[in-house]
Amino acid sequence: MNRDVLPQALVEAGIDSEIKATQDLTGGCIHQVRRIMLVDGSSVVVKFNTASKQLVFDEEMRGLRALAATNTVIVPEPLYAGVLGDVAMLLMTYILESPATDDAWRSFGMDLAALHGRDVGTRYGFDQDNHIGATQQVNTWCDDWVEFMAQHRLGFQIELATKSGLLYEHEVSRIELVVNRLDQWLPRKPRPSLLHGDLWSGNALPTLDQDGAARIAIIDPAISIGDGWADIAMMKLFGGFPASCLETYASRNDDQENLESRLMAYQLYHVLNHVNLFGRGYVSQAMGLVDRLLG
């Protein structure tokens, strides 16, 4: 990124301080991420990419604001999203990482339960499509959760993988058996909850809250409204979250019907997305979930 645009970005964000230093941060495989340390002692984070990626940053800003508005979870505050020169960027507050504690993880379980307990209406989806990783995520409103999952989650991923040749015909046929029988494992009317949507361990950062208590902040959302257990399914898929966190969440959620198969159906969405993002190395994991669901 052209360093010359950073001062202008700070102005656009309403920050009245000069840059002291910058530091590259881990930002996945899509964007570049940098910490900007300011003369006044504070820091902000900038994510940047080519101008064509600005829509993704607009989506992320909206997702962070939606999560923050629930007053349940800690997220960075988005300060500015826009294009300067040929660079698209998102500026947000910096989350200072701190050692994780068991109390922090238990608190996070309570935070998620509170997030998923907020009233967000009666439908599933969102009023804007967004992205999960680099993959488009369709959020067309639906009154039936099974229909939403079949069409806009699993069905969409199957279509992408089929068109690109990443799934073979016999694999598609087997996965479609799951899609056609989703109502065996998923409720049609679970409590609608605001979901983070991409809650793997890299998007959960141990930190301290404003009172100095150990907490967990979350970043990089792919929000929609759906079954809260879908977030838990992603958390369990690749590990990294202690049992105390998951147990605390479960103790505050009395809707646990068909829970094991329900989680697997949600995990199938994420594994199929990994097939589309990273290739056939994830197909065996997807088919393993399919085989377990179909018995």
Give the active site residues.
198
Q: How many CA atoms within 13 Å lie on the side-chain side of 180? A: 7
Largest Cα–Cα distance in the chain? 61
Give me the residues paired with residue 80 across strands: 91
* Beta pairing class for 43-50 and 32-38: antiparallel
Q: Quick count: other Cβ atoms within 10 Å of Cβ 6?
A: 21
The answer for 140, left when phi > 0, alpha when psi is -120 to 50, beta otherwise, is: beta
Looking at residue 24, the DSSP 8-state letter turns out to be E
Neighbours of 5 (CB within 10 A): 18
In terms of Cβ atoms closer than 10 Å to its own Cβ (0-12, 13-18, 19+), residue 41 is exposed
Distance CA 97, CA 74 (A): 12
